Every structure is written in C-alpha cells, then in structure tokens.
Amino acid sequence: MLNESLPKIWYGGDYNPEQWDEQTWDEDIRMFKLAGIDIATLNVFSWALNQPDETTYNFEWLDDKIERLYQHGIYTCLATSTAAHPAWMARKYPDVLRVDFEGRKRKFGARHNSCPNSPTYRKYSSRIASKLAERYKDHPAVLVWHVSNEYGGYCYCEQCEAAFREWLQQRYGTLEAVNKAWNTSFWGHTFYDWTEIVSPSALSEERPGNVSFFQGISLDYRRFMSQSLLDCYKLEYDAIREQDSKTPITTNLMGTFLDLDYFEWAKHLDVVSWDNYPRIDTPVSRTAMTHDLMRGLKSGQPFMLMEQTPSQQNWQAYNSLKRPGVMRLWSYQSVARGADTVMFFQLRRSVGATEKYHGAVIEHVGHEHTRVFRETAALGKELEQLSDQLLDARTNARVGIVFDWENRWAINLSSGPTIALDYVGEVHKYYDAFYQQNIQVDMIGVEEDLTKYDIVIAPVLYMVKEGYARRLEEFVSNGGTFITTFFSGVVNENDLVTLGGYPGELRQLLGIWAEEIDALHPDEKNKIVIKDDVGSLSGEYSCNILFDLIHSEGAEVIAEYGDDFYQGMPVITKNKFGKGSAWYVASSPDADFLQDLVTTVCNEKGITGLIQADHGVETAAREKNGKSFLFILNHNTNASTFDLEDKYMRDLLSGQKLTGKVTIEAKDVMILTEEKLGDL
C-alpha cells in the first residue's frame, strides 16, 4: 500500500494555489471536500516562487498551503518544482538552457527546458529537493514525493557533448570499441580521438523524424539522454532520501512516450505514476495497453494515475469533452488495470497562459453547479465507499507481450526497409487481439522473468539483447509458447546485424531462415493462406507492410503467401522446440488473423477470457488476498448484456447481487466479486 495514512484510492490532483488568492483558497477547500478529494499535488511549477534568486529560499507559502489542506483532511503529493527553471537562472547561468536538435541555443521559455547536464541545473535542482525534504519530511500530510514533472526532450549542447564522450568511455572503454560498435569504417567515420565525437543532431548525423546516417551513435545518444535525465531525477531522489527515509518517491511518466526508457527509469521509482491523456478517438484498448505497460514497468506493482483530465485537454487539435460518464469509466479502467489512485490535472483551471482551456474540477465559473463537478463528486463518493478493498490488488496474466524502448528506437532509426513500420502500433495489434477476447495480458520488459507466463509474444523483436535469445529458448524448452514476427532477430544492442542469416539468434528457436525482406506500399496486400486448419486458423487472411521471404528449417509451415513471386513460401510457421513451440508471423497480418491466432494458442494452453461479452465491453481482474475483483466496463453507447451463468457475484459499486444474465448500462462500470451462495 502506498501510504497507510490514507488507506483508500487517493482522489485529487494538481493544484496551484500560488496562482490564486486567499479567498479562492477557502473556496477551493470547500469544493474539494464536496468532491471527496483527499490529495492535492502541490509545488509542481513553483521554483521561481520558492527561490527568487540564487541565495534566497521561500517556502512559507507552501507551509501554509500544505497545512491549510491538511487541516481539512487533504493530503499532499509534494512536487519538487524543478520542471521549469526560473527566468533569473536562465539569464545568470545560460548553461541551464538547452541547445535543440537544430543546433539552436534556446532562450528562456516554456518548460522541461533545462539541459540535463547543466552543472547549474543539477546543483540547484538537487539543492531545492533537499531543502524541501528537510522541511517536510515529517509533515504527516506528505504522502508521496513527485520529482520534477514529465521528464523529456533532448539537449545537444557542448556540455552534453562532453558528458556523452564520458558516457561512451564508460560504456566502451576504448575508442576502438566505439568504432567497432558503430561500424565507423563505413563512410570513413573512424574516430582517432574522443574529442572528434559530436552529438548526433540535424547538424551532423541525423535529420528530423528519427532519420540517422549512423544508427549506432544515434541509439547511444538516446540511451545517454534517457540516462542523463534519469541522473537528474536520481540526484533529486537521493537528496530527498538523505532526509526522508520512508516516503515513496516518484515522477510522473507518460505511457508510451518515446524519449525515455521507462523500464530503466522504473528501477529508480518507488512507485510508478503516469499521466493518461487519450483523445476522443483513441481506441480504448490502446489506453488499456498503456495502463498494462505502466503496471509492467515494476512487474505488476500497482501504479498511480497521476493525471487525467476531468473533461477536456487544451493541446489536442480538437479538444472534445469527455462525454457524460466517460471520466468515471476511464477512471475505473485505470483502477481495473492497476491504478491505486485517481488524480486529475487539474483541480482549478488557471486564468491565463497555455493550459487555461484544459479541463479542471473547478472550472472558470468557479462553482460546483457544473456537470463536470457533479461527476467528479459522484466518483469521489464511490471511491470513498470502495475504501481499501482494491489497494495493492494484483493482475494475474498468463500471457506476456514484450515491449522494449531500445528496440523501438532502433526500429525508428532504421534506414529501410520501410517507413510504414510503427513499433507501438504493431505491438498494439497483438495486444488488441487478446483484449477483444477478454484475456489478461502483462506488458513486459526484456528483463522480466518469463517463467510466470504460458505465452510470450514479442512483436518485431528487431533487436535481440545479449542473452535474451537464450532466455527465450529456455522459456520455450520448458513448454512455453513464443510468437514473434517479421523483422525480428536482426541486430544486436548496437544495431549491428547478426550475420549468418535472419532471424539471427532466434533462428534455431524458430526453425526458419528469412532470406529476403520485401517492402511494399501499405495499400498493397498479400494473402496468408492456411494450409491445413490449425485450431481456429482456417482459410485466408491478408497482410501488408513487410514480407519476410522465409524457408523452413524444421518449423511446420502453417500458412503460405497467396500472391506475388513468393506465393507458396511460408508466411506462418510453428516450430516445436523442447516442450514448447515458437511461432513466426512473417508479415503484418490483419486483425482477423490475430483473433484466430490468439484463440488457437490460448486454447492450447487452456487460457480463456474472463467473461464472454459484447464488443466494446472491457473486462479486467485484480486479485487480493484470494479474492478476485472483476471489472466490467461498458464503453458502448448502448446497454450490453453478459452472462454470469451460475456464478453469484456482487457489484461493489451498486451493491447489487447478480447471477445469470446481467445488463450493464452504457458507459457504466461494475466491479464484481464472487459471493458465497449463502450470502445471496
């Protein structure tokens, strides 16, 4: 449990009292209480207020706010205020300003704007974290530390360049090793001195849109930048921990955000927290996948939903309102998938600047008589009633889908074979196939223990890290089912090709050789023709994007291409390996194929969906102390009926006891637990 002081699903969000006056503060507290809010994230962007010049620190205002809220039963998620440096610092110490990808030294403005290798930034950001921790470590209101905010963006300044060289020296030891790792004999890029290495930007090896001429340096720069920002986080973490040994520390992540390797970051977070901002047209299964990924960062440990909007965003193209019931529905979707908090950006809308049209619990009108407030308050009441029942409950999945940031970077950077390959989209296609069948999935990193799974899927496992092929072989040997796809097993961690035939280190496990890789415009399709029906796989399907031209080297050919000059070559293979089997999907298939593939492999393993329900009805289960909580989330605009058959369940939200056919209203949610017969 996050913190025993508040043993329930925390409910609240970002709050910026420094933008307001005394009268508003009182009104805010009155309304927070009305809404059932019990936690406020304070101090996110107050560095300039906290430290008006180099030597002065001023926290009285914060003392007052924390105390004022606490006296009304509202706890604090305490931010360190370092996500935007003060203007005076930018002027006095320009080293805090980034140089951007185009090589331009930036001026003061925006946020998330500090060079991560700036000595000034590192010194003052850790110092203020230390001062805050010293001051508030014993305050009973402070439940969790929120370091900085939404880390991201890269810098290309000279101090980053120097730090990059040091990072390389640590990683590779010698310049010879760097030259080898990056294959610099290509295009005569051999380095004879460390100082010859410059950062890969639009001025050197890269072009906008993840285009690079040297994938090795570009990949390493991404690692280095992710690490540099993480170092900033860790400096603050350590500064806090030096003062405060217990309070959990986090920073808010952003789902499938590109820049940072969150699996690496999560090792240094006591609890994962993240900000969930789907668009009106974001597939709900995409949001579900992202929640599962955030849960997977720390191997299933529940996370904080740190931010979501109660109503609408401001930075989307068309900032549609969340329709009635949707805020509640999506809040429970978070909880269903591992969130132990439901928090908003923001509690009160600001009066000016860029986020003033971002929704808030308290709107510009300032009173509680709004649809948004009513929905917020109603949810607050429900969460209060749920109490601590769900806290720390876990998800039991027998299927793991691999997600890897470094692999993603390498795929993005690859020059050829196609620009149409979208790693996250490809992963989501597989995820969605399970989601549609209500089968629980864990999103896992490449360091995750595989023994807990019956099925492991690694879409486009282009980069195979050291030892991973062997671990997959063990997994399959021991009876696991493994599925991977086209353009897998191609390179090592430095994006150097594993010679001797694709899919490289995975070749034995898969029992195939991919001789060539064809790429066509995404509108051009080929056919997957099943040879003999296997499980649900039958007839023809379509595929596109990339087409591996493979030869079986022992694998069973499940399906062949139906068109083009490689008609008759295998497109789907299944290789027995030890007690298990390894599938290869040599092209990007349509959704129908994936449905049937999922059914087939799950049937083999005896894995079934949580429940049978209509399309658009999402399910998920969390378990705790032997008790299972089954979430039913109706994303449809119509009511939907599902069948509990002879099970007897109780809905924690309505209190209703249910069996047989059950109807759930449009946008409604149920959290069902099994009842003993006698209880009914």
Strand partners, 551: 513
Q: What is the C-alpha to C-alpha distance for residues 524 and 561, in angstroms, rounded to an integer?
A: 13
Using DSSP, state whether 539 is helix, strand or coil.
Answer: coil
Point out the catalytic residue in the list 161, 206, 307, 505: 307
Q: Which string of b and e fits 366-387 if b means at least 16 CB within 10 Å?
A: eebebebbebbbebbebbeebe
Q: Does 103 bind a second copy (CB under 8 A)?
A: yes
Q: What is the C-alpha to C-alpha distance for residues 184 and 535, in angstroms, rounded to an integer?
A: 49
Q: Does 499 bind a second copy (CB under 8 A)?
A: yes
Q: What is the C-alpha to C-alpha distance for residues 185 and 170, in angstroms, rounded to an integer?
A: 22
Q: Does 519 bind a second copy (CB under 8 A)?
A: yes
Q: Which is nearer to a second copy, 7 or 568 (CB)?
A: 568
Strand partners, 541: 528
Q: Does 370 bind a second copy (CB under 8 A)?
A: yes
Phi, psi values for residue 253, rounded to 5°: -90, 180
Judged by CB under 8 A, the chain residues 47 through 66 that form the site for a second copy are 47-49, 52-53
Q: What is the C-alpha to C-alpha distance for residues 520 and 566, in angstroms, rounded to an integer?
A: 13
Q: Does 208 bind a second copy (CB under 8 A)?
A: no
Q: Does 494 bind a second copy (CB under 8 A)?
A: yes
- Structural tokens at position 426: 């490809």
Mark the segment that binds a second copy (CB under 8 A) among 114-122, 355-363, 448-456, 596-604. 355-363
Q: Does 316 bind a second copy (CB under 8 A)?
A: yes
Report the residue from 124, 344, 453, 502 that binds a second copy according to the rule CB under 8 A.
502
Listed in sequence order, the residues at least 6 apart from 70 whose beta carbon sits closer than 8 Å to its beta carbon are: 76, 139, 140, 141
Judged by CB under 8 A, the chain residues 557 through 596 that form the site for a second copy are 565
Q: Does 414 bind a second copy (CB under 8 A)?
A: yes
Q: Which is nearer to a second copy, 51 or 126 (CB)?
A: 51
- Structural tokens at position 399: 């299927």
Mark the segment that binds a second copy (CB under 8 A) among 134-142, 209-217, 250-258, 389-397. 209-217
Report the residue from 4, 208, 245, 521 that binds a second copy according to the rule CB under 8 A.
521
Q: Does 185 bind a second copy (CB under 8 A)?
A: yes
Mark the segment that binds a second copy (CB under 8 A) among 34-42, 195-203, 256-264, 573-581. 195-203
Helical (H) or strand (E) element with 217: helix 215-243
Q: Which is nearer to a second copy, 486 or 629 (CB)?
A: 486
Report the residue from 117, 118, 201, 395 that binds a second copy according to the rule CB under 8 A.
201
Q: Does 166 bind a second copy (CB under 8 A)?
A: no
Q: Which is nearer to a second copy, 127 or 189 (CB)?
A: 189
Residue list, annotated binding site for substrate: 111, 149, 315
Known catalytic membership, residue 150 = yes
Contact (Cβ atoms closer than 8 angstroms) between residue 31 and residue 368: yes
Size of the site for a second copy (CB under 8 A): 112
Q: Does 554 bind a second copy (CB under 8 A)?
A: no
Judged by CB under 8 A, the chain residues 213 through 252 that form the site for a second copy are 213-216
Distance of CA 41 to the CA centre of its chain: 21
- Structural tokens at position 222: 């991404």
Nearest-approach distance from CB 129 to a second copy, in angstroms: 15
Q: Which is nearer to a second copy, 58 or 641 (CB)?
A: 58
Judged by CB under 8 A, the chain residues 107 through 126 that form the site for a second copy are 107-111
Amino acid at 52: P
Mark the segment that binds a second copy (CB under 8 A) among 70-78, 178-186, 256-264, 286-294. 178-186
Report the residue from 1, 5, 64, 104 that binds a second copy according to the rule CB under 8 A.
104
Residue list, annotated binding site for Zn(2+): 115, 155, 157, 160
Q: Does 94 bind a second copy (CB under 8 A)?
A: no
Residue list, annotated binding site: 111, 115, 149, 155, 157, 160, 315
Work out the angle at residue 397's Cα, subtended by the Cα atoms of residues 511 and 604, and round it to the nearest 5 degrees: 45
Q: Does 23 bind a second copy (CB under 8 A)?
A: no
Mark the segment that binds a second copy (CB under 8 A) among 318-326, 375-383, 458-466, 617-625. 318-326
Q: Does 536 bind a second copy (CB under 8 A)?
A: no
Work out the angle at residue 332's Cα, subtended by the Cα atoms of residues 329 and 334, and round it to the nearest 5 degrees: 115
Least Cα distance to 464 among 400, 431, 507, 428 occurs for 507
Within 487-580, residue ranges assigned H as helices are 507-510
What is the DSSP secondary structure assignment for residue 537, as one 8-state letter? Answer: B
Place of tokens 């599925």: 483
Report the residue from 63, 64, 176, 196 that binds a second copy according to the rule CB under 8 A.
196
Mark the segment that binds a second copy (CB under 8 A) among 26-34, 354-362, 448-456, 475-483. 354-362
Q: What is the C-alpha to C-alpha distance for residues 497 and 411, in angstroms, rounded to an integer?
A: 13
Q: What is the C-alpha to C-alpha distance for residues 239 and 129, in angstroms, rounded to an integer?
A: 6
Measuring CA to CA, how many Å separate 658 from each of 90, 484, 513, 632, 636?
62, 41, 54, 13, 21
Nearest-approach distance from CB 79 to a second copy, in angstroms: 11
Q: Does 639 bind a second copy (CB under 8 A)?
A: no
Contact (Cβ atoms closer than 8 angstroms) between residue 582 and residue 509: yes
Q: Does 198 bind a second copy (CB under 8 A)?
A: yes
- Structural tokens at position 246: 């217990």
- Structural tokens at position 616: 């658009």
Q: Which is nearer to a second copy, 291 or 527 (CB)?
A: 527
Q: Does 532 bind a second copy (CB under 8 A)?
A: no
Known catalytic membership, residue 307 = yes
- Structural tokens at position 574: 């299944």
Catalytic sites, residue numbers: 150, 307
